[in-house]
Amino acid sequence: MESKKIIDDYHKLYWNSQIFQNTKWMGVPVWKSVMDLWVLQEIIYEKKPDVIIETGTAHGGSALYFADLFNTMSAGRGIVISIDIKPKPVLPKNSRIKYITGDSVSKDVLKTVRGCITSSDKIMVILDSSHTKKHVTSELYAYGSIVSLGQYLIVEDTNINGHPVNNPNSGPGPWEAVHDFLKTDKCFAVDKSREKFGMSFCPEGFLYRMV
């Protein structure tokens, strides 16, 4: 229990410092913890998805990170589909990245996403847009069926609303959405091994598709 308190206290300090907002990949803000970035690299190398779909482009740093990982791993495979309702006017350019503007759960955006993938693609999804429980729940049901067997559906910022950090007036969010989703969807299981560094912005948010 003492070690958990130490880790949680560090987690809160790390989060409240907002240092992650000044974490960059090749000069572009990423807005993730460096520990989660390392784990994402391990997952991508191990599972070798053909497509990574991320909701929440922000400055495009994570999209560029994933594209650069694909470049390092293989000359031919790997695209990143990055969705944001209001992306920044200047985003990193990379031939592997396709940016989509719109609400991640709108019919038009989902139609565009499906038009970019094929039934043979191995697809991984990372949810990191609006962090309200309602929106994340909608994303989980919209994108869960797109994730391929043996790939991951990763829900970012499950740490808010007291898990263990608090955002002012955040209320129920990603963590609560994940646990409600798992009550009805039996295709996914939480993979706690991906939290091996102790602190993660995605506690119980690494969902592995089993069936």
Which pLDDT tens digit goes with each residue over 124-150?
A: 999 999 999 999 999 999 999 999 999
Contacts of 125 (CB under 8 A, 6+ apart): 52, 53, 54, 55, 143, 144, 146, 147, 151, 152, 153, 154
Query: What is the model's pLDDT at position 169?
Result: 77
Mean pLDDT of 161-176: 91
pTM higher than 0.85, yes or no? yes
Query: What is the model's pLDDT at position 96?
Result: 97
Residue-averaged pLDDT of the chain: 96
In this structure, which topology does domain 2-209 adopt according to CATH?
Answer: Rossmann fold (3.40.50)
Mean pLDDT of 31-55: 97
- Helices 34-47, 61-73: axis angle to 10 degrees equals 40
